[in-house]
Amino acid sequence: MGDHERLLTVKEAYEAAYRFVSQYRDRERESESLQLMLVSMEPVDDYAMSADPASWEDWLTCVNDVGKQPRPRP
């Protein structure tokens, strides 16, 4: 693997996605939608894995869809 390639666990990838959205929100402070998304996505150390258990389930669905479903378009 190259310097920019690293295998992540599902939990690590979730935190990476959370951090990615968080740093974007830091530049777009006026985005209430991003703020609400981050509140529901915030990783926690319990069975649900996020402040909103539905977010974790949505994440697992997305992980399972990678390579199986067409990539969503903006």
- pLDDT given at position 71: 86
φ/ψ of residue 13, rounded to 5: -65, -35
- Can you give the pLDDT at residue 1? 65
Tokens of 4: 């920019």
Q: What is the distance between the alpha carbons of residues 53 and 2, in angstroms, rounded to a whole number? A: 34
Q: Could you tell me if residue 47 is inside a domain?
A: yes
Mark 36-65 as b/e (b = at least 16 C-beta within 10 Å). Answer: ebbeebebeeeeebbebeebbeebeeeeee
Whether this model's pTM surpasses 0.85: no
Tokens of 21: 């959205």
1, two tokens? 């693997």
For residue 15, being part of any structural domain is answered with: yes
Q: What is the predicted pLDDT for the residue at 47? A: 63
Domains contained in the chain, number: 1
What is the extent of the structural domain holding 39? 10-62
Assess whether pLDDT exceeds 90 at residue 7. yes
Q: How confident is the model over 8-61, as pLDDT tens digits?
A: 999 999 999 999 999 988 888 888 988 888 888 888 887 667 888 888 889 999
Mean pLDDT across 3-7: 84
Domain assignment present for 1: no
